[in-house]
Amino acid sequence: MERLGPWPARLTWLVLPVACGPALGDALAGASRPVQVVASAGLWAGWAVILVATLVPATVTLTALRIAAPAAVAAALAGAVAGGVEAVDVAGLAAAVVAALAALWPVTGRVFADGSSYGDEARLPLRAPGPLLAGPVELVWLVVVAGLVTGPLLLAARQWITGAVALAVGAIAVWWGVRVLHGLARRWIVFVPAGLVVHDPLALAESVLVPRATLRSLGPAPADTEAVDLTRGAFGLALELRLTDPAPVLVRRGRGKIEAVTTDRLLVTPTLPGALLTEARTRRLA
C-alpha cells in the first residue's frame, strides 16, 4: 500500500467535481445569482489549487490538502441536505469521504513531509497529540473554513456591512488557524547522514540531534519505560530511542514553560512506526 504514495489523494481529489458537482449544483439552485457565481467560482478555484498542491508534495501543500479535503465532505453533506437526499448525493458524499481519508492517510503525510527534505534526508511525521484530536483541532479547522467562506458569501448576498466585518475577521482567523494546523505538519523524525533528529516544536524547545554513534537502540517502547515522553498523548505505537550517554533536552511542559532534562531515553509516536524502523535499518542505525 505504501507504494501507492500520493496517488490516492491525487486521484480521489481529481474526480470530486464529477462526483459532487450535481449535488452542489442542486443545493445552489435556490440561491441568488450572485451567490451562485461566488460559490461556484470559490469551489472551482479551491479544487484547482488543491489539485496543484497534490502534485507538489511539501508540508505546506499537505496542510492545504488536509484543510480542504474535510471541507469537501462538509460541502457535500450540506449539498445533500439542502437539495434533498438522492442517490447522486450519497455518491458525492461517499467520494468526498474517500478523498478525505486519502488526504489523512499516513502514507500521504509521509510523502508530503518528505517532499520538504534536503539532500540525503528522510522525514517521517509524528502523530498528532491525542488531546488535540478530541476537539481542538476540529474547532480550529472549523474556524479556518468559516473564515474563508462566510465573508464572500455575505457580500455576494449584498450584506455589505456584515460581509465586510466577516471578511476582515475571517482573514485574521484564517491566518491564525492555518498557522496552528501547519504546526502539526511540521513534527518529524528526520534521518540525516549523521544520525537522526527529533523535530517537534510542540514537545521540544529545540530539536534534538542524535548522532549515529550515540544511538544505542530504536524500537517499540516497553510498557514500563522511563523515557522522557515526547508523544504528547498521541495514539499508536510508541518507539523508544535509547542513547549511549545521557544528553540534555529542552522539553515544553506547558504554555511558556520549558524544562531542561538530561536523559538517555526518548519516547516518540510516528505515524508509520514500521516505515521508520525500516528506514533506520536501511541507514544502519542502531
Structural domain spans, the chain:
1-118, 126-186, 192-282
Per cent of the chain over pLDDT 70 is 98
pLDDT category of residue 191 using cuts at 50, 70 and 90: very high
* Residue carrying the nine cell digits 549523521: 194
Judge whether 84 and 249 are in contact, CB under 8 Å: no
pLDDT at 165 over 90: yes
Judge whether 67 and 145 are in contact, CB under 8 Å: yes
**DSSP code at position 3:** G
Alpha-carbon distance 18 to 88, whole Å? 10
Q: Tell me what pLDDT residue 50 has.
A: 95
The SS3 call for residue 257 is: strand
pLDDT at 254 over 80: no
Cell of 46: 479551491
pLDDT category of residue 153 using cuts at 50, 70 and 90: very high
Alpha-carbon distance 63 to 184, whole Å? 9
Q: At what angle do helices 160-184 and 136-156 cross, to 10 degrees?
A: 150
Q: What are the DSSP calls for 228-274, one per residue?
A: EE-STT--S--EEEEEEEEEEEEEEEETTEEEEEEEEEEEE-BS-HH
Judge whether 140 and 243 are in contact, CB under 8 Å: no
Q: Indicate the helix (H) or strand (E) that contains 281.
A: helix 273-282
pLDDT at 253 over 80: yes
Q: What is the CA radius of gyration of the chain?
A: 22
Q: Indicate the helix (H) or strand (E) that contains 27.
A: helix 16-28
pLDDT at 255 over 90: no
Closest-CA residue to 199 (of 187, 212, 183): 187
Cell of 261: 532534562
The SS3 call for residue 45 is: helix
How long is the chain? Answer: 286
C-alpha count within 13 angstroms, C-beta hemisphere, residue 192: 16
Alpha-carbon distance 145 to 147, whole Å? 5
Q: Tell me what pLDDT residue 83 has.
A: 62
Q: Tell me what pLDDT residue 79 has.
A: 81
Amino acid identity of residue 262, one-letter, is T
pLDDT digits (tens, 9 = 90+) for 57-99: 999 999 999 999 999 999 888 887 876 667 777 888 899 999 9
Q: Tell me what pLDDT residue 285 has.
A: 86
0.85 cut: is pTM over it? yes
pLDDT digits (tens, 9 = 90+) for 87-142: 777 888 899 999 999 999 999 999 999 888 888 889 999 999 999 998 899 999 99
pLDDT at 286 over 70: no
Return mean pLDDT, the chain.
Answer: 91
pLDDT digits (tens, 9 = 90+) for 214-252: 999 999 999 888 899 999 999 999 999 999 999 999 998
Strands 215-220 and 239-254: antiparallel
Cell of 43: 469551489
Cell of 100: 478525505
Q: Tell me what pLDDT residue 1 has.
A: 66
